[in-house]
Amino acid sequence: MDNRKTGDLYWKALFDGYEPARRWMAGHRPDVAVIVYNDHANAVGLDLVPTFAIGTAESYAVADEGWGRRPVPPVTGAPELSEHLVRMLVDDSFDIATFNRLDVDHGLTVPLSVYCPEPGDAWPCAVVPVLVNVIQYPQPTAARCYALGQAIGRAIRSFPQDVDVAVFGTGGMSHQLAGARAGLINAEFDYMFLKAIESDPEKLAAIPRDEYIRETGTEGIELIMWLVMRGAMSARIRRIHDSYHVPASNTAVGLALFEDLGGT
Amino acid sequence: MTRTADNYVLDLTASRRGYAINRLCASLTDEDSRRRFGADEAAYCDAFGLTPEQRKAILHRDWTAMLDLGASIFYVFKLAMVDGKSMQYLGGVFTGVTAEEFTELMRLGGQNFGR
């Protein structure tokens, strides 16, 4: 999107699938987006790998990943909500690392572009980045991600300010970049996942790490980040739209948009 | 070129083994570093303390050997980008097809390798 290729036939079907979700989001603009994502060897190296981390800054520059900063606006933070989340999570026995300063890479900015492809000078909402390690093994379990999501949900609901919060779960879907299984796509699993994320997330949370790797590829493990999003939502949610498209680069791209109906 | 494994998982053993080569690849996000790498790749490898096997893999662009020696695809990709090579090119290297063939395989829905 940020390379203005949306009219190209290769990309058209993918972006057409986003349109109903974008329209709904445009009519339901959040004040803050809590974006659960993974860094790609930009802000996080291999000297220190946090399993879970939260950005706490007033703003986040867009990373230069080695081929220039993407031509998208810098990201405005929500430091008060960040601080509230960190305190609530630590008190809820989650050991959270904090990025008090952070450049955000495409793992965060591409989902923002999916939501709002033409932001102009500024994204439509502030952002709290939640980083999950999916690159170094062992990644957190899907169950732990789901539990973190539930704690994030409790923390969001207890925030004393009246703000509308969207939670983005990013990553996946099935894909593998390296090795003899490069190019792996498992549409059957992806369709199952797109369905179960709404009505049976516990089933997805129970899938072991090695089974995600086997079924969805070494990079498909990113799907655990959707469970953070789902955990943060209430038990009662409404599916607004979903879409699935292969390929975007080497990846199966899925989108599912839910409205939180509240209640436990 | 080396035969590739099915999967590469960056566990702590691989990360220890590949630390120098991953660190070298990560450094290539900096423009000045890219310039110095381009000017003398062998010296750049030596400055990062690569093992002889890792140095050989980088200089010969043996992408599979890099992974076998503990490199992570996310770091290796930064070297590929310096060369102007895409993820589809790398996918083709790992699966024994051209970048165009790999791109076409993805367009046709990818491969499920018996899943």
User: Which tens digit of pLDDT belongs to each residue from A242-254?
Assistant: 999 999 999 999 9
**What letter would DSSP give residue B5?**
P
Q: Give me the pLDDT at residue A176, please.
A: 98
Question: Cβ of A188 and B107 within 8 Å?
Answer: no
- Tell me the Ramachandran region of residue B72: left when phi exceeds 0, alpha when psi lies from -120 to 50, beta otherwise: beta
Looking at residue A88, its pLDDT comes to 98
Kindly list the structural domains of chain A, giving each domain's residue range(s) and its CATH number in brackets, ordered by start.
9-260 (3.40.830.10)
Give the pLDDT confidence score for residue B2 in this predicted structure: 66
Distance from CA of A259 to the nearest CA of B (A): 30
Q: In chain A, what residues touch B28 (CB-CB under 8 Å)?
A: 66
Q: Is A137 in contact with B87 (Cβ distance < 8 A)?
A: no
Give pLDDT tens digits for A88-98: 999 999 999 99
- Give the alpha-carbon dihedral of A218, B75, A100, A143, to 10 degrees: 10
Q: Which residues contact A75 (CB under 8 A, 6 or more apart)?
A: A59, A60, A61, A62, A104, A108, A109, A112, A123, A127, A129
Q: What is the pLDDT of residue A235?
A: 92
User: Residue A7 pLDDT > 60, yes or no?
Assistant: no
Report the catalytic residues of A: 106, 175
pLDDT for position A186 = 97
Average pLDDT of chain B is: 96
Q: What is the mean pLDDT of residues A59-80?
A: 95
- Fold that domain B12-76 belongs to in CATH: Protocatechuate 4,5-dioxygenase; Chain A (1.10.700)
Let me know: does A172 contact A222? Beta carbons within 8 Å.
Answer: yes
User: How is residue A217 annotated by DSSP?
Assistant: -
Q: What is the largest CA-CA distance in chain A?
A: 51
Q: Which residue has the higher pLDDT, A263 or A260?
A: A260
A264 vs A167, residue with greater confidence: A167
The answer, yes or no, to whether residue B18 has pLDDT greater than 70, is yes
Residues making up chain B, counted from first to last: 115
> CB–CB of A178 and B76 under 8 A?
yes
Contact B11 A42 (CB under 8 A): no
Q: For chain A, positions 42-61, list CB contacts with chain B under 8 A.
A: 42, 45-46
Q: How confident is the model at residue A46 (pLDDT cuts 50, 70, 90)?
A: very high
List pLDDT tens digits, range A124-147. Answer: 999 999 999 999 999 999 999 999
pLDDT at residue A223 tops 60: yes
Question: Token pair of A130, please?
Answer: 């939640």
What pLDDT score does A213 carry? 97
Give me the residues of A, 195-234, that contact B with CB < 8 A: 213-215, 218-219
Mean pLDDT of chain A: 94
What number of CA atoms fall less than 13 Å from residue A177's CA on the CB side?
23
Residue A196's pLDDT is 98
Give the model's confidence band at B77: pLDDT under 50 very low, under 70 low, under 90 confident, else very high: very high
Residue of chain B nearest A180, judged by CA positions: B6
Which residues does chain A have within 8 Å of residue B78's beta carbon, measured at their own beta carbons?
A: 41, 65-66
pLDDT at B85 over 60: yes
Percent of chain A with pLDDT over 70: 97
> What pLDDT band is residue B67 in, cutting at 50, 70 and 90?
very high
Residue B60 DSSP label: T
- CA A153, A158, A163, A164 dihedral sign is positive
Instruction: Look at residue A67 in the predicted model and tell me its pLDDT.
Output: 86
Are B91 and A250 inside 8 Å of each other by CB?
Answer: yes
pTM of the model: 0.96
Q: What does the pLDDT read at residue B97?
A: 97
In chain B, list all ranges with CATH 1.10.700.10.
12-76
Asked if pLDDT for residue A264 goes beyond 60, the answer is no
CA-based nearest residue in chain B for residue A9? B107
pLDDT of residue A4: 57
Name the amino acid, one letter, at A228. V
